[in-house]
Amino acid sequence: MAKYRQGRINDSVAQEISMILRDVKDPRVSDAMITITGADVTPDLKYAKIFFSLYSGEVKETLQGLRSAAGFIRGQLARRLNLRVTPELTFAHDTSVSHGAHIAEILSQLDIPQDDPDEAEDDDAE
């Protein structure tokens, strides 16, 4: 399968699952603020690893809720996407968003003096 097609399938699966999560009635999922950050579908379309980021709620509880709702999510995904095979879903917590926020916080706390462009021109002229 071509790389661009694989990327389109990954994007479509991630987008549809983020919309399907609004309909999940499990309080472990519906009460948490979940963002789907990506999907990695195997080339044979049998398995998909769904990456999610969590803004409120407990990771362990939300992961259990997502696992218990995986059948419902997979059924809805089959109805919404026209794929040969609907992949089995596994969920993984993605910490890249919180890691990026932590790095941004560290960088904002650094005290780096800014060079004055006028001084740089004066130094070159001498």
Mean pLDDT of 68-91: 92
> DSSP letters of 29-89?
HHSSEEEEEEEEE-TTSSEEEEEEEEEES-HHHHHHHHHHTHHHHHHHHHHHS--SSPPEE
pLDDT at residue 31 greater than cutoff 80: yes
Q: Please state the pTM of the whole predicted model.
A: 0.75
The CA R_g of the chain, rounded to the nearest whole Å, is 22
How far is CA 70 from each of CA 22, 98, 114, rounded to the nearest angstrom? 14, 25, 51
Which of 3-7, 28-32, 62-66, 113-117 is predicted with the least confidence, judged by mean pLDDT?
Answer: 113-117
Which CATH superfamily includes the segment(s) 3-99?
Answer: K homology (KH) domain (3.30.300.20)
Question: Letter for the amino acid at 87?
Answer: P
Q: Name the residue with higher pLDDT: 114 or 121.
A: 114
Q: Which residues contact 92 (CB under 8 A, 6 or more apart)?
A: 49, 50, 51, 52
Q: What is the pLDDT of residues 33-47, one digit of tens each?
A: 889 999 999 999 899
pLDDT beyond 70 at 124: no
Sequence spans of domains, the chain: 3-99
What is the rounded CA–CA span in Å between residue 93 and residue 126?
A: 57
The pLDDT of residue 121 is 58
The pLDDT score that the predictor gives to residue 80 is 92
What's residue 111's pLDDT? 77
* pLDDT beyond 70 at 126: no
